[in-house]
Amino acid sequence: MTVAKPALRPNVPHFSSGPCAKRPGWTPENLKDAALGRSHRAKIGKAKLKLAIDLTREVLEIPADYRIGIVPASDTGAVEMALWSLLGARPVTMIAWESFGEGWVTDVVKQLKLKDVTKLTAGYGDIPDLAKADKNSDIVFTWNGTTSGVRVPNADWIAADREGLTICDATSAAFAQKLDWAKLDVTTFSWQKALGSEGGHGMLILSPRAVARLESYTPAWPMPKIFRMTKGGKLIEGIFVGETINTPSMLALEDYLDALNWAKSLGGLKALMARADANTKVLTDWQAKTPWVDFLAADKSIRSNTSVCLKVVDPAITSLAADAQAAFAKALVALVEKEGAGYDLGAYRDAPPGLRIWCGATVETADVAALTKWLDWAFAETKASLAKAA
């Protein structure tokens, strides 16, 4: 089948799942007020860091008694701080259905070497039976599996009267999905995901229950300075008002502030979620009329509205060996990128071959619609090349 080459390219062809597209209208000029060359301990630096915390609370609708800290090393650093500082006090349930969740399992079992660990796992495109999570244990999970396009449908499976803590990696869910704060004791994300800001910094959000654990429990292992959140058995409150553990980038901070103010100007979380949902609906409608592609997640209730993962289901391709299927998907993605119609569309390296298209709020719906035309064209071209080579 021949498909005409599209005439219209996405205005912003950035569909990477991290770092994600900058907000609409972004230019370097937006960062002109950055406190460059100034200390983060100076009045201006501390004020900007505190403002970032306050705006995060406002946009994400985080309860007033939850602490919010800016921490090093992106979402990974924030999760590691939580795992190393809080686990070991009681049994742990690890829930994983994609690569990052599996990474946290490895850290807990092989690095912290905790023994009383229950693992609830599922393959790409699926999710474990969340009802099996023991409320008496600490529970570690990702809200949105960035590499599989699978998210938890809600937090109803988390007991309100739980004895353990919940530690939630929400890096590709925050600012796009409704987080149930009453069910979350530790929540983490990074600036470069759903708001499209710059990498290198993480956010760590603690409930009062998490703070109580920090102040009453001392892990058995040595704690690196970069992970320490208590001193003398008390929370280091400065971390949660902008007195960062190490030196943050004031340029990246300004960019995060710009993204937060943009989010606020739209109407906050509800508006951000609506934009992500609208982007995902474009792909859902396209998939429904496109026989060669399907969602990696068969269950609609667990499909992500940010990191949308798709697979090629055309019989001529699925009949190929696994390595040939992977090569086909890579060739399709490469052709779209060569045309400047969509960048960074390939599935994550550990995931099944296919497409992963970021649909968060910083992406424009019209650009997603334009991309689908190029995907149809690239599929037809790649399939024709394959037939010609056979």
Report pLDDT for 2.
Answer: 84
Distance from C-alpha of 179 to C-alpha of 173, rounded to nearest angstrom = 8
Domains 28-265 and 267-389 share a fold: no
**Rounded Cα gap, residues 356 and 361, in angstroms:** 16
Segment 209-227 mean pLDDT: 97
Mean per-residue pLDDT, 169-180: 98
- Give 314-319's long-range contacts (Cβ < 8 A, gap of 24+): 314/379, 314/383, 316/383, 316/386, 316/387, 317/292, 317/383, 317/386
- pLDDT of 1 above 80: no
Q: What pLDDT shows up at residue 230?
A: 98
- Write down how long the chain is: 390
Return the DSSP state at 307: E
As a whole number of angstroms, the distance between CA 114 and CA 116 comes to 6
- pLDDT tens digits, residue range 25-70? 999 999 999 999 999 999 999 999 999 999 999 999 999 999 999 9
145 beta partners = 150
CATH number for the domain whose boundaries are 28-265: 3.40.640.10
Q: What share of the chain is helix, strand, coil (3-state, %, to 5)?
A: 40, 15, 45
pTM: 0.97
pLDDT of residue 300 exceeding 90: yes
**Domain 267-389 -> CATH class:** alpha beta
Residue 379: pLDDT above 90?
yes
- Cis check for the bond before 63: say yes or no (omega within 30 of 0): no
Residue 169, φ and ψ in degrees, nearest 5: -85, 105
Residue 118 is predicted with a pLDDT of 98
Q: For residue range 117-146, list pLDDT tens digits in order.
A: 999 999 999 999 999 999 999 999 999 999
Chain segment 85-118, per-residue pLDDT in tens: 999 999 999 999 999 999 999 999 999 999 999 9
CA distance 192 to 293: 28
Residue 335 has pLDDT above 80, yes or no: yes
Residue with tokens 């290198």: 200
Domain ranges of the chain: 28-265, 267-389
State the number of CA atoms in the 13 A half-sphere of 335 facing the CB: 21
For the chain, what percent of residues have pLDDT higher than 70?
Answer: 100
Q: pLDDT (tens digit, 9 = 90+) per residue, 198-210?
A: 999 999 999 999 9
Cβ proximity of 74 and 190 under 8 Å: yes
Can you say how many angstroms the Cα of residue 325 is from the centroid of all Cα atoms in its chain? 27
Summarised one tens digit per residue, pLDDT across range 274-290 is 999 999 999 999 999 99
And the tokens for 195? 């708001």
Check residue 390 and give its pLDDT. Answer: 77
